[in-house]
Amino acid sequence: MLQDSLFWTKIGRIVVRLSERLNVSPEQAFDIFYSSQTCSRLHQSETGLYLYGDLYIVDEVVREIQMKQG
């Protein structure tokens, strides 16, 4: 399905940007992203998070990490 392909492409872009932002490998960024609440919200269509830009979503993941670190 085209929608699935576009969604996975978006996730790939987010992971690459997160990797650059956190200065970690793409594999580490993938693990960080997939263990985040932001990722969980992205997969819930009712949140509408999938409509937001990649950098906004990366910022959300970074904020989430910062909140956990105190």
Number of other CB atoms surrounding residue 17 within 10 Å: 18
pTM: 0.90
The pLDDT of residue 67 is 95
**Residue 5's Cα: distance from chain center in Å?**
16
User: Which of 6, 32, 37, 3 shows the shortest CA–CA distance to 18?
Assistant: 32
Instruction: Categorize the per-residue pLDDT at 2 as very low, low, confident or very high, splitting at 50, 70 and 90.
Output: low
Confidence band, pLDDT 50/70/90 cuts, at residue 16: very high
Q: Which tens digits make up the pLDDT trace of 27-70?
A: 999 999 999 999 999 999 899 999 999 999 999 999 999 999 98
Nearest to 38 by CA among 9, 8, 59, 12: 59
Query: What pLDDT, on a 0 to 100 scale, did the predictor assign at position 3?
Result: 80
Q: Domain boundaries in the chain?
A: 2-69
